[in-house]
């Protein structure tokens, strides 16, 4: 059985369409696809990405999306206006340009009350941090009106991992020494230190994203499919088949080996 996977998309809807087209050409319309999370933020069209994925699931496509840390930040912002996460050491909030929440809301045509001009303006017009409580509360209230309920349901329903056919798909990684079924949500969404530098064998091959590379890379016990689409680099899907892995490039399959 062939299983396809797509790493961090980060609002790049055109790249997502190209990745899905490559998969369909390789494995057909009914190909099994696992999505590794981080559908939103940084790129120009998070709304388009969530439309594509939520609609595909509603249509019964053979897709298995899991949750990324950016998806949870967007979900929490819509639910409660929360902009800060303890795992962000810099203290920057989701509405800081470095995190990309502004671009996500901008894809919904979102607006905010800009304190310098006293009027309403497009959120994307200003590269400033909007994470302070007064502004973020107002923006969250407006966002709840702008974001379709289907998108919020999609975010809320995302599982934290997916296991299938000798593969374990997770957004960020796992904590070595902790059984898979006892892994902490924070690690599944955020871990780097303690996972990336370890060559720990969890049993199944771990397929993850979260840590942006310049191109997807295979290691002995894991594969990182985050090739940096959130920073404008190519979104390259992979296929896993009979214990081997390939990237689906512009010119066809490319062996993905350590």
pLDDT (average), residues 5-19: 98
What pLDDT digit, counting tens, does each position of 154-179 carry? 999 999 999 999 999 999 999 999 99
Full-prediction pTM beyond 0.85?
A: yes
Phi, psi of 208 (to 5 degrees): -145, 175
Domain 2-68+160-171+203-255 fold is: Purple Acid Phosphatase; chain A, domain 2 (3.60.21)
Task: State the pLDDT at residue 110.
Answer: 58
pLDDT of 130 strictly over 90? no
Phi, psi of 202 (to 5 degrees): -90, 0
pLDDT (average), residues 228-232: 97
Confidence band of 126 (pLDDT split at 50, 70, 90): low
Report the C-alpha gap between 135 and 149 in whole angstroms: 23
Task: State the pLDDT at residue 137.
Answer: 80
Show the 3-state SS of the chain.
CEEEEECCCCCCHHHHHHHHHHHHHHHCCCCEEEECCCCCCCCCCHHHHHHHHHHHHHCCCCEEECCCHHHHHHHHHHHHCCCCCCCCCCCCCCCCCCCCHHHHHHCCCCEEECCCCCCEEEHHHCCCCCCCHHHHHHHHHHHHHHCCHHHHHHHHHCCCEEEECCEEEECCCCCCCCCHHHCCHHHHHHCCCCCCCCCCCCCCEEEECCCCCCCCEECCCEEECCCCHHHCCCCCCEEEECCEEEEEECCEEEECCC
Greatest extent of the chain over all pairs of C-alpha atoms, in Å:
61
Tell me the pLDDT of the chain averaged across its residues. 91
Phi, psi of 121 (to 5 degrees): -145, 165
What pLDDT digit, counting tens, does each position of 180-224 carry? 999 999 999 999 999 999 889 999 999 999 999 999 999 999 999
Confidence band of 113 (pLDDT split at 50, 70, 90): very low
pLDDT (average), residues 68-92: 94
* In the chain, where the domains are located: 2-68+160-171+203-255, 71-152
pLDDT (average), residues 71-96: 92
Task: State the pLDDT at residue 116.
Answer: 53
Confidence band of 119 (pLDDT split at 50, 70, 90): very low
pLDDT of 140 strictly over 50? yes
The answer to whether residues 132 and 144 touch, using CB atoms and an 8 Å cutoff, is no
pLDDT of 127 strictly over 70? no
Confidence band of 118 (pLDDT split at 50, 70, 90): very low
Q: Which residues contact 164 (CB under 8 A, 6 or more apart)?
A: 3, 34, 64
Percent of the chain surpassing pLDDT 70: 90
Task: State the pLDDT at residue 97.
Answer: 85
pLDDT (average), residues 73-93: 92
pLDDT (average), residues 98-119: 72
Q: Name the token pair of 205.
A: 């091959």
Residue predicted with more confidence, 16 or 142: 16
Task: State the pLDDT at residue 134.
Answer: 59
């Amino acid at each position: 059985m062939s299983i396809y996977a797509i790493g961090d998309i980060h609002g790049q809807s055109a790249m997502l369409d190209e990745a899905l087209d490559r998969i369909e050409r390789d494995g057909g319309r009914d190909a099994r696809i696992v999505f590794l999370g981080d559908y939103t933020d940084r790129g120009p069209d998070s709304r388009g990405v969530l439309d594509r994925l939520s609609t595909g699931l509603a249509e019964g496509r053979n897709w298995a999306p899991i949750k990324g840390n950016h998806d949870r930040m967007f979900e929490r912002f819509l639910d409660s206006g929360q902009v800060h996460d303890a795992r962000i050491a810099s203290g920057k909030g989701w509405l800081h340009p470095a995190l990309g929440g502004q671009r996500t809301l901008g894809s919904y045509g979102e607006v905010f009350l800009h304190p310098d001009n006293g009027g309403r303006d497009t959120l994307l017009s200003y590269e400033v941090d909007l994470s302070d409580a007064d502004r973020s509360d107002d923006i969250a209230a407006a966002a709840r009106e702008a974001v379709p309920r289907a998108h919020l349901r999609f975010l809320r329903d995302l599982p934290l991992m997916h296991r299938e056919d000798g593969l374990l798909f997770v957004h960020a990684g796992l904590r070595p020494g902790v059984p898979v079924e006892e892994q902490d949500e924070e690690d599944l969404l955020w871990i780097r230190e303690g996972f990336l530098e370890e060559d720990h064998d969890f049993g199944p091959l771990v397929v993850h994203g979260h840590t942006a590379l310049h191109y997807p890379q295979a290691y002995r016990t894991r594969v990182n499919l985050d090739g940096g689409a959130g920073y404008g680099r190519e979104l390259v899907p992979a296929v896993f088949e009979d214990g081997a892995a390939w990237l689906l490039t512009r010119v066809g399959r490319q062996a993905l080996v350590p």
